[in-house]
Structure 1
Amino acid sequence: MNHKSSPKKVAIYARVSTEEQAEHGYSIDAQLETLRKYCELYSNEVVDEYVDRGVSGKSIKGRYELQRLLKDAEESKFNEVIVWKFNRMARKNIDLLHIVDLLEKNSITFRSFSENFDTNSSMGRFALQMMGAVGELERNTIVDNVKMGHRQRAKMGLHNGKVPLGYTVVEGNGNSRETKSEIIIVEDEASIVRYIFEQYATGHGLKTIANDLNHRGRKTQKGNPFSTTAIRDLLDNPMFVGKIRYNQYENWAEKRRKGKSSEVILVDGHHPPIINKALWEKVQLLREKKATLPKKRFEGEYLLTGLIRCPECSAAMTASRTVNRSKDGEKITRMYYSCGRFRSQGSAVCHANSVRKVEAEQAVTDRIRQAVVNPEILQRVVRSVNERRSGRIKPLRDELAAVQARITSLEDKKRKYLELYEIDDIDRDMFSERLSILNKELDTELTRKSKLELELRDDQADPASYELVRSLITKFDALLRHSPFQQRKTLMHLIVKKITLDDKKRVSSVELAFNEQTEKHFLSVAPSAEPIAEGAFPLSGKAPHIKQTLRIII
């Protein structure tokens, strides 16, 4: 490769996860030092360094320095990004190519120091794709090997991962991996499990059992009140009858319950059962019968499910109804929004706090409409938006200063330990232990610093103008009035973040959040040459471009 071109403005990106630091000795400082010297050798200007410490490359979430780098790329602050190895940028090939594509759209080259290529040429881009594919193959092979080991353990009747309520893992008597740990019953928790199974077997429902346990002050393994979901998961877990189940779901991180496996492993385990086989079979028979019953269907359309917050506990409110008869025997159905925690966990946790469906929905749409037609209300909303944004700056700056002080203190401690080690005043084991603890604390503080700097950057943007806010709310109101129900509900859940009730169960505020995605996909009209698909949002005109999330409370 020819590096004898004119000096470039370079951004250095480095990343290392906590596991990589512990297992492989990867060092952020070594990466940075190598890349700095490389840039110095070719007389390139290092514009900034972006360092994600103790962060996995699985996704962009939580990698605040990478997010900052991509924002700076859009502003053309540099024309090249360099990393120590390409997998520092992303673990998955598709994610890596997506990031590189974003850089290239802004005329920014991506360079890997270790693999000795850049994306400035066709061969460089080809090399990136090939090495990314090979790297992902290696990672997938490691994952497959780990899964193979877990599968083999399961076939042997050994448990993988955390144990459910009623059990704990203790040190075993053997030296092998299979015998060095043992699962035993925690009797206090096991009594709760037995009670749940016995209550369900006698005909009690999930909510009744959860409500009863919560009234008695019982908690889940994580210390939370019992919900219908928690009860259901316990009833469906064959570990309580002495079985080991594995591979029920594939790729849980991406697919969740949609990734149900057709090759479930179910064998006898080495751990003691908590309930007997007869009780288990009775409960499973009841579970199967109830699963075939028709689910409750509510007449009418619920627009605000999950958006309205309970005035007592702030939980999301869900759809509910009551059916009564008039004097002449006619059925009268009344529809409400009620506290979700009350519905799943019972009156020990909260109360129904029901509000009429029609009145709540009308109050929300009226409030949005009033902001459109009344300039005084809209001016008050705009002032509130900008005051909140400016009011956030000082606390963020204060927190950033405190974080920086902790970083400085930790770095001073590292230097002192290094000095003690150099004069043989501290033994190597103690030095390594203290350095490891300090590095972990330092990584936490540096990650927090990156997050705060990113938040400050957004909050210090230009104030929201009256025209911008009026345009966004006007378009939102127009879409709500002219769209069919499914689109209105989609819009509500995309843009409305929270609807707050006061102590008299009246709508007190509606919080909206507009960002680039809502503006692009829902508030801007498509080019006139493109036909509008059936059922699409009825757009008119184009919304202004939004550079950051804009939160508006009406």
Structure 2
Amino acid sequence: MQNALIYTRVSTDEQANKGFSLPHQKNVLKLYCQHKGINILRHYKEDFSAKNFNRPAFNELFSYVKANRKSIDFLLFTRWDRFSRNQEEAYRVIREFRNLGIEVNAIEQPLDLSQPDSKVMLAVYLVIPEVENDKNSIRTKEGLRRAMKEGCFVGIAPFGYKNVRNEEGKSTLAIKSDLAPIIRRAFTDYAKGVLSSEEIRKKYYHRGLKFTKQSMLNLLKNPVYCGKIAIKEWKKEDAVIVQGLHPSIIDDKTFNTVQRVFADKVKKPIHKFSEIDEYLPLRGFLQCAKCGRALTGSASRGRNGVRHFYYHCQPKCKERFRAEDANAIFENLLKEFVVKEDALILYKQILNETFLGEQKDRKLRLRQIKKEITNLRTRMESIENKFFDDLIDANTFNAMKGKTQLKINDLQAESESLNSIDKNIDKYLKLGISFLHGIDKLYKSSPANIKKKIVGSIFPEKLIFLKNKYRTAFLNELFALILSKHKPFRLLEIKTPRQNDGESKKAPFCGFTFDTYNHM
């Protein structure tokens, strides 16, 4: 007597829940085997939808086949669409079973696969359900996009919402009252631009936002929280954001501010200075006097546990000196720079004229923005009137309205940004003038990132430290014009680093030497 495995499958949960498809398939297969005198070894029941054969019951069946292939003659099912709706995958699995000596067949659509002509009918049986699947997929996508353009939310509810249906039976979202305040605070905190998304995630993690890092970023970028739905591009349709039927947790202004903060951080990555940078502000600006390479800096811990900071060259070079002494001498160097009185007057005048000119440009731009927003709102009213008069359909209306509203939001954000700049003009003026009044004081009281900016703006070339003085090839031309020094600059002739042949060459070096107090 020949042995067989029977396989029954439904492709959707709906068919499985109705309870008629799987029992019907099993009964038909049992009757067929009784009539043919075939012994049923096992029955495998599948209620899992998948485009390929990565299904729980089928994986179990295949494991059993590999372990007991000598005792199995047939794998039987009712129809070929119960076996697979993917032509390429079906051919592959049929070939694998044939290599194991097992015949695969559908009792309602039997084929003699040993005959070449049967492959034509097999292709027909497999292609028809695959085409049907493709059609269903297209219809489903089009239906979902149509529903989304009407403001429906058709996916799994994001954090802080739950899936519901409104009075008209349309799929939408409802706010979870216990989570909404936490989400609102998270958006508000990030909009300030002080905390990173990771810091906000950690801040609210134990208050309910138990997210991964990426999930937190996704939340802050999701327009669902301001009552909108993002629809991805598909075929020739562009991506669009439409107004949803669900209530918002945050307002449009906060959401747009958060997106601007994201954009600014992408455009201007912020370097995080560590504690060690405060002790090594000149790291990256010093050049080794022996080998000409850039110096770095690090700390070493003494026997008493106290850390001492040093600027030093690479391991093969012995150049090394205390950072504390080099920093002190550099601060004294800055004291020697004094602003010429006529330069200070001219600088104040230039600052005032620059800011006044920019202020006029800003006011002009603000008037333009106001006019553009008025025109866009008029256009919005026109779009609504055309929709109410049935001149355009709902999809076109939502797309046009969404694009217009985005432009209005961007212009309003630009207007707020320009207004905030006007408020800070006095602050900028004071900061610029204070810089010239006392570079050494500003440098000494500033954090490491500002110190590095000051050094880089004055000295475009690397500095060389020689015990009690600094040497550099060039001074910023602007500073050379507006700053006077108590001691004149001197031309030097120095030795270049030793070459590979062991000889030393002399070369003229036109630069500045700054003699300062000896701290060595």
Higher-Rg structure is 2
